[in-house]
């Protein structure tokens, strides 16, 4: 369908009309004293009617005067007067009809159309005019309503488009923020005047800034200007000459800079932001800004400098001593008849030169090891995470290793190292030990530093003979499967400044049987472990003496006569909203760990959050770290306790200040449909049995006295692990007190409970 053709005048008229409407839409000012064209008809029409009416009235008056002045009273004049008055009345009546029915209605319609144009047309009532009000102007009113509907639709489309565009922009902004936040490099976006338009947190960390940097500030306030400006000039020249199209790095260039205070050396990469020229133009694009990525190269450049110095030391530094030694040897060789005194002098000089070379070689070797270690990427690692990765790799990724089993034991520790290479190292060692001894079950445990030792030991334990030193050295020379660049096991140890050795494990009596052995690898401790950051120290729980809970009957004969070191234990702990279960406080977390055969099976744990169906007091959150948001949607206590009861089935329960935790459990037995009626040992009571009533019997106090490193304290699982380590030490001490069986331990605890009850009675 084609549009109708328009002639020249029509086009010109519409163009003028469009410009007039455009001017009004834009609110352009009018010259003073000139009315809008739309307002003139409303004033000219009544003026015309009034002038015609006045003219007719004047004519009628003139005719009346003429009739009165005539002597005979001309009937024709009288008729003219009457007709003139009638016409004047008709004109006035017509004016009233036109004014009331057309002009006023048209003015009202124009005002309502203006309201619709400037108001909200979303609703059917607010965006439409009532047709019944306008009589003969109904077609115009209907046209206004049609325009209103279309205007409303256009506005809705615009609003929807704006909302969609805003949502997409917010999504892109969120993605960009996430990308910038997770980048390990500092990112800054600047214009050509070096004003900062965007930056991420890593940039602040690299430049060691906090609140100094801000949008709009100059980058050159924080970074030495010359490398940045020079790099921008290089890129500008490359783009102007068009070389960026075929250049290897395109619009990117690297540079080395520094902070303005000279403390930090920076490795930077600048990428130009281009604005293409207009279509058809032959001009090259212009650079409107640049993206700068920065990394802290201080340690890397220092390491390169140290390596250069070591290379000079290993070449030029050894040249003169070796030349002197060679000259002395040649002198002795060429003069076999040299006098004894002279020969002794030459031999002494040769010995001194050899000693000097040996010492210099040791220094170079140690310095090289420090350089290699310092430049290798490392981070703080939680030992449980590291060992679980080893378990996963041995159990799934290693061909023919389906029969190998790695058990995580002991307390978790924080170490500093390269997680990937350590996983490869221990996978390699486990496979070699399996091939040598046939062992298929291994324990892997992190042992805390003791007696001033700074190393954390990672012990691989198995049933079988130890690995001979020569065999172990051969394993360390072998390249690791999947190791980068032919990395060997010995290289991994060297990067960690570590070594490895194997030995048979003594039993409790000090003998050295061939039944169990270990391979020990020392690792450096963590530099700043996350969980070691101080949390508000919780006040110790009050000693909870519920004598009905603490006084237990002796166990059944078979279980009661079982030695303590042969029992299966579950050590547990709870976190609660408060310290008063009888007044409404609830459990918010339960955790437990198995202890079997004197080993803490760190890989066999129970740990779950519980929805208490009540707010967690804000004052308790800093101590256990559990918030309302963390427990929202978690299972309630009636669903958790049956699972926990199944986990402890057949085991002796152990807890510190056990009556406190048991009180919470007992109060929920009926609602959960379970019963906790097995034997329970309390490390607080055992501490009183061993150390007397005096002293600190809190968990922290006992652990400190026993030399047990506390990691992840004041969490349910962390406290369970610490309690398990404390309990195993106590089993050894109880054996020395002739407390050997479960009945012996329960009997001693009952005596303490009775004494406490009598003391409180007095």
**Cβ neighbours of 48 (radius 10 Å):** 12
Q: Assess contact for 517 and 461: CB atoms under 8 A.
A: yes
Six token digits for residue 665: 């459990």
Q: Assess contact for 266 and 223: CB atoms under 8 A.
A: yes
Bridge partners of 618, per DSSP, are none
Q: Whose CA is closest to 757, among 542, 541, 551?
A: 551
Bridge partners of 571, per DSSP, are 593, 654
SS3 content of the chain, % helix, strand, coil (to 5): 55, 15, 30
With residue 746 as reference, give the H or E element that holds it: helix 742-761
Residues 6+ apart with CB under 8 A from 745: 564, 681, 686, 734, 739
Q: Is 54 left (phi over 0), alpha (psi -120 to 50) or beta?
A: alpha
d(C-alpha 614, C-alpha 602), whole Å: 32
Six token digits for residue 424: 């490869």
With residue 91 as reference, give the H or E element that holds it: helix 75-98
Q: Reduced to 3 states, what is the DSSP secondary structure of residue 110?
A: helix
Q: Assess contact for 726 and 578: CB atoms under 8 A.
A: no
Measured N-to-C along each axis, helices 340-375 and 298-334 cross at an angle, to the nearest 10 degrees, of 160
d(C-alpha 535, C-alpha 572), whole Å: 22
Q: Whose CA is closest to 656, among 727, 594, 714?
A: 727
In a 10 Å sphere around its CB, with 0-12 CB exposed, 13-18 middle and 19+ buried, how is residue 548 labelled?
Answer: exposed
d(C-alpha 760, C-alpha 762), whole Å: 5
Q: Is 230 a catalytic residue?
A: no
Helix boundaries (H) for 565-649: 621-624, 628-631, 637-647
With residue 14 as reference, give the H or E element that holds it: helix 8-25
Q: Assess contact for 286 and 275: CB atoms under 8 A.
A: yes
Q: Whose CA is closest to 552, among 648, 652, 651?
A: 652
d(C-alpha 233, C-alpha 604), whole Å: 62
d(C-alpha 740, C-alpha 736), whole Å: 9
Q: Assess contact for 656 and 726: CB atoms under 8 A.
A: yes
Q: Assess contact for 387 and 456: CB atoms under 8 A.
A: no
Residues 6+ apart with CB under 8 A from 742: 555, 559, 560, 561, 562, 564, 567, 652, 679, 681
Long-range contacts of 263-267 (CB under 8 A, 24+ apart): 263/208, 263/298, 264/206, 264/207, 264/208, 264/296, 264/298, 265/296, 265/297, 265/298, 265/301, 266/206, 266/223, 266/294, 266/295, 266/296, 266/297, 267/294, 267/295, 267/296, 267/297, 267/300
In a 10 Å sphere around its CB, with 0-12 CB exposed, 13-18 middle and 19+ buried, how is residue 588 labelled?
Answer: buried
Catalytic residues: 714
């Amino acid at each position: 369908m084609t549009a109708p053709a328009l002639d020249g005048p029509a086009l010109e008229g519409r163009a003028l009309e469009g410009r007039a409407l455009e001017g009004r839409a834009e609110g352009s000012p009018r010259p003073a004293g000139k009315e809008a064209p739309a307002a003139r008809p409303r004033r000219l029409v009544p003026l015309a009617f009034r002038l015609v009416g006045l003219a007719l009235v004047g004519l009628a008056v003139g005719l009346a005067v003429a009739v009165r002045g005539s002597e005979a009273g001309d009937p024709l004049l009288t008729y003219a007067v009457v007709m003139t008055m009638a016409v004047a009345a008709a004109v006035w009546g017509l004016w009233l009809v036109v004014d009331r029915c057309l002009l006023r209605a048209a003015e009202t319609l124009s005002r309502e159309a203006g309201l619709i144009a400037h108001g909200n047309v979303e609703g059917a009532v607010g965006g439409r005019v009532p047709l019944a009000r306008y009589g003969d102007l109904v077609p115009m009113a209907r046209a206004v309503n049609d325009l209103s509907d279309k205007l409303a639709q256009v506005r809705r489309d615009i609003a929807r488009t704006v909302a969609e565009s805003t949502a997409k922009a917010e999504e892109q902004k969120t993605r960009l923020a996430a990308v910038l936040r997770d980048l390990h490099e500092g990112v800054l976006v600047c214009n050509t005047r070096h004003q900062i338009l965007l930056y991420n947190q890593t940039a602040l960390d690299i430049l060691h800034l906090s609140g100094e940097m801000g949008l709009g500030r100059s980058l050159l306030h924080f970074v030495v200007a010359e490398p940045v400006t020079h790099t921008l000039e290089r890129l500008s020249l490359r783009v102007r000459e068009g070389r960026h199209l075929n250049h290897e790095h395109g619009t990117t260039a690297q540079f080395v800079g520094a902070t303005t205070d000279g403390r930090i050396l920076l490795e930077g990469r600048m990428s130009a932001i281009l604005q293409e020229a207009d279509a058809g133009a032959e001009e090259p694009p212009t650079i409107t800004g640049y993206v700068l990525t920065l990394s802290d190269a201080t340690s890397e450049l220092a390491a390169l400098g140290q390596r250069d110095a070591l290379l000079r030391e290993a070449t030029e530094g050894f040249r003169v001593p070796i030349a002197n030694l060679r000259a002395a040897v040649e002198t002795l060789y060429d003069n076999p008849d040299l006098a004894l005194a002279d020969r002794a002098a030459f031999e002494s000089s040769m010995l001194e030169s050899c000693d000097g070379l040996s010492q210099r070689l040791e220094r170079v070797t140690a310095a090289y090891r420090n350089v290699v270690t310092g430049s290798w990427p490392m981070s703080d690692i939680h030992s449980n995470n590291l060992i679980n990765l080893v378990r996963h790799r041995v159990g799934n990724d290693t061909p023919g290793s389906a029969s190998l089993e790695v058990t995580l034991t002991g307390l978790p520790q924080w170490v500093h190292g390269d997680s990937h290479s350590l996983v490869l190292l221990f996978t390699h060692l486990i496979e070699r030990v399996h091939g040598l001894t046939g062992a298929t079950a291994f324990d892997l445990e992190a042992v805390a530093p003791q007696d001033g030792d700074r190393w954390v030991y990672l012990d691989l334990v198995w049933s079988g003979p130890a690995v001979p030193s020569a065999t172990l050295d051969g394993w360390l020379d072998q390249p690791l499967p999947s190791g980068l660049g032919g990395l060997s096991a010995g290289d991994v140890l060297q990067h960690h400044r570590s070594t490895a050795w194997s030995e048979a494990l003594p039993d409790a009596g000090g003998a050295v049987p061939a039944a169990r052995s270990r391979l020990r690898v020392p690792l450096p401790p963590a530099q700043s472990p996350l969980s070691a950051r101080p949390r508000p120290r919780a006040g110790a729980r009050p000693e909870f003496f519920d004598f009905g809970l603490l006084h237990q009957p002796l166990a059944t004969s078979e279980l009661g006569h079982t030695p303590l070191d042969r029992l299966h234990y579950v050590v547990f702990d709870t976190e609660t909203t408060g310290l008063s279960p009888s007044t409404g406080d609830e459990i918010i977390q339960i955790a437990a760990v198995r202890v079997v055969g004197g080993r803490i099976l760190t890989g066999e744990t129970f740990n779950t959050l519980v929805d208490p169906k009540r707010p967690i007091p804000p004052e308790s959150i800093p101590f256990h770290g559990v918030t309302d948001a963390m427990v929202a949607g978690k299972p309630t206590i009636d669903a958790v306790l049956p699972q926990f009861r199944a986990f402890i089935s057949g085991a002796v329960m152990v807890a510190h200040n056990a009556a406190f935790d048991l009180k919470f459990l007992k109060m929920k037995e009926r609602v959960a449909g379970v019963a906790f009626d097995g034997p329970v040992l309390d490390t607080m009571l055992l501490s009183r049995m061993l150390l007397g009533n005096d002293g600190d019997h809190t968990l922290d106090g006992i652990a400190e006295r026993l030399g047990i490193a506390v990691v992840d304290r004041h969490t349910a699982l962390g406290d369970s692990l610490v309690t398990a380590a404390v309990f195993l030490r106590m089993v050894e001490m109880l054996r020395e007190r002739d407390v050997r069986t479960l009945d012996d331990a329960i009997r001693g605890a009952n005596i303490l409970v009775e004494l406490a009850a009598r003391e409180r009675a007095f």
